[in-house]
Structure 1
């Protein structure tokens, strides 16, 4: 499971640029996309946070990383790692999250359900312990990339690799995909995705499987993971892609090696979206 550490900066728009500068400084400590760094405020007028999500590091490695961060930024407030946040941080914090707009989509939690105007572009997501509320730039980038793709041509079959909450699979269904399937290595995320799919009453059933990496061949494949696994799975993801591959979860510093890995498998970059130093790539298989 993801482990979270966060530092609270303060309230006010002036902290946005401070937070961005701190993230840029801490980025030198990121190794192949680990940990994931972000700066945001959960409420529109709330406190700005520096958020650090560890995926693979154990307690000792996390402590060393946070100590190095302190050496780089002595002015950084103390990081907090409380047991509830480490065990189930998204579930505990999601009630404070406001609706997020990405293209035509608006993603919101069940606590905001009664405030939302009925529209096909609304997606209700309760994350539990899964990743993908659209507050992270990589998820927003994927939503925008999918919408742009659907405007160019109809979506046919779509596979969402590392689905997390299922938000991208639901979005593909909303955009008219003929068939959508999703998978995740984490059984908890799979259960969360299944609940979200049911709540959102998708046009067609969306099967969700417990599976690491690509689980089906599809015309369009989505993988919002991290740079290191995206490079490691380049061959499998390329083989699973019939025509279009949408990749995200990578910082701009990692775009070049990711592009190279997929260019070597015959895919070319058709579009690139940058949000808050996070990149979303749309790659196409050239038509013959």
Structure 2
């Protein structure tokens, strides 16, 4: 079983690396004892997201329902022949990940199968499941044996997840709006996306980043650097998007260059090492 588990965890780790070099680098900055749980969560989240965002030539609803069912079975059996799900169920049991968080995530993913626009209340529900709940799963890995600390850091962790997701909305606006027909901010007309609308979203994101940072500074040193690295990568991406004209948001997908990421890595290492956050 040890070789089997290691192989399955390797699948989750490789999935993380292949889909997100930035996130993968952040995970590598964590203390070794936390990496397996985070890799396992990412692999699970990525596969669910792929079903609803990529496999348009397949019966997505049927595949997603199968994925949900297999997730339930894997957790109940403490075993799965699917390496990603076996890795995830092992993390669920090892770190006592709350089933409500898993259900909230799957509900948000399922919304993307049919929902094309999101009113404010539904958007809050979607962001909670698709991003905040994932952040809370990671927080449970970090503090599975410190429940009081987990409760203290819950709200900042949610804010960080919300900030990341809203930045993703702006980064992926072209693909979501033009190719998938999705409008996450229902009250904003993306066919006439203007400066006031963009500023309104950006103010929300700025507040989320500010609130999240207060919790980030309280993280244990074993995990703080990895989380801080993800934070500054997204903050730099957000600032790049802020400088862009609204018309450009629907014309290109913004990213942080590899050279800039290396600079941010060095800067983050220095600040974290000397407690300058």
Structure-1-length-normalised TM-score: 0.32
Which has more strand, going by share of residues? 1
Which has more helix, going by share of residues? 2
Higher normalized contact order (CA 8 Å, seq sep 6+, divided by chain length): 2
